[in-house]
Amino acid sequence: MLYDALADPDGATPGDLLDSYAGELAGALDDADPAAVADETGVDESVVAAMAAGDTDALATVRLTDAAAVLELHEGVPADDIAYEVRDHLMMEMVTAILDVDTIAAEIDADLTGQEVQQALEGRTRLTLGELADIQALMIDRTP
């Protein structure tokens, strides 16, 4: 479920992670009509089409909540639970990697402050798949 989309994460870059998210989302949308998925999920049709096409450039700006809404249709798990599980997994990895939100903000390419990282991890503000990939790659790199 996004956080475990890459079978062997050792040495994974944000690009590798975005590619794995793209594969997971494209697989979830296999043979689906983007317009029908957009109507059912409330996610913009162009975003659904980018997910279905595996467009990693477009996926970098897609919100975790939108990806979770699409995955809900495939996984049968509520979107809120999917997003919560991804964020929960990241917070657990922070402990393992011995990282705090200020260090994450300073180390990733996303233009976020420590407070914004914290709010994203808590689900109080948006978390894009690009930011998720940046954070997850840092955690993978820092995990002993």
Which pLDDT score, from 0 to 100, does residue 69 have? 97
Q: What average pLDDT does the chain have?
A: 94
- pLDDT at residue 128, rounded to an integer: 96
Low-confidence ranges of the chain (pLDDT < 70): none
Distance in angstroms (rounded) separating the CA atoms of residues 79 and 72: 5
Q: What pLDDT was estimated at residue 1?
A: 74
The domain limits of the chain are 1-144
The CA–CA distances, whole Å, from 2 to 24, 35, 78, 106, 124 equal 7, 23, 15, 23, 19
Residue 8: the pLDDT is 84
